[in-house]
Every structure is written in C-alpha cells, then in structure tokens.
Structure 1
C-alpha cells in the first residue's frame, strides 16, 4: 500500500524536527570536547543552518536520482 501525500508530509516534517534536535544536542555534547564553547542560542542557530543545508542536499539528491530514473 502506498503512503498518502499527507503521511509523506508528516514523515518529512518529523524527519526535519528530529534531525534538528539531534544536531543541536550533538553540538552541545561534542563541541566542548574540541574546546568550542557556544551558547544555547548559537547552537540553535547553527542547528537551523545545518538543517537547511540538509534539506537542500536531500532535495538535490532526490531530483538527481529522479532524473536518472527517467532516462
């Protein structure tokens, strides 16, 4: 059975939210090990940037693979 468009959207949004949370928590835990000390606000902003980059990468790869599939 195919996934509905609504559930695909819910899955995509959930993936982005979870990814953002993981990015921020990872930064908070890992940055100090490398001597980087950032505020929560900075971590939230960096997480947002990483999330936008991840969405753009995912979109570009999906379109590239779709183009390969068509030809």
Structure 2
C-alpha cells in the first residue's frame, strides 16, 4: 500500500509538530543548563525554523522512499 502525497504531508506535519513540542521543551530545559539564556519568543522562533526544515526534509524522504518501494514492487511483479 502506498501513501498519497497529501497523506505523506499530513503524516510529516503531525510527526514534526510532536517533534517541535519535544524540541521546545528540551530547549527550555537544556539551554539554561549550558548557559544559553534567550527569551521564550526566541525559543519559539528557533523551533519554528527547525520545524519548517524538518517538514521539508521529512516530506522529501517519505516521497523518495515511497517511489523506491513502488519501483521495487513493479520490478517484482514483472519478474525482474
């Protein structure tokens, strides 16, 4: 079974949202422990940039793997 492009995007966004929340909580805990003190708004901005990058990365990788799996299934079906 393959995913549609929309399903890939939705899965990537949900996964990344969860990652964003974990990263934000981590930043709030870890940054002060290593001497980095920034306003909460800066933590949100840093997290937002990494989230955008993560969505693009996750979507591209998901579609690449999906295409590879589809091609492998075609080759097996054709006996190659």
TM-score w.r.t. length of structure 2: 0.64
CA deviation map 1:21-65 (0-9, x unaligned): 211111010112222111100000011111111111110110110
Moved over 4 A (4+): 11-14
1:53 corresponds to: 53
Partner of 1:26 in structure 2?
26
* Contact 2:23 2:47 survives alignment (8 Å): yes
Asked if the contact 2:27/2:43 (under 8 Å) is kept, the reply is yes
Higher CA-based Rg? 2
The answer for the alignment partner of 1:36 in structure 2 is 36
CA distance in 1, matches of 2:40, 2:16: 19
Which structure exhibits the higher relative contact order, with contacts defined as CA atoms closer than 8 Å and separated by 6 or more residues? 2
Q: CA RMSD, aligned part only?
A: 2.4
Query: For structure 2, which runs of at least 5 residues remain unmatched after alignment?
Result: 1-5, 72-80
Stretches of structure 1 that go unaligned for 5 or more consecutive residues are none
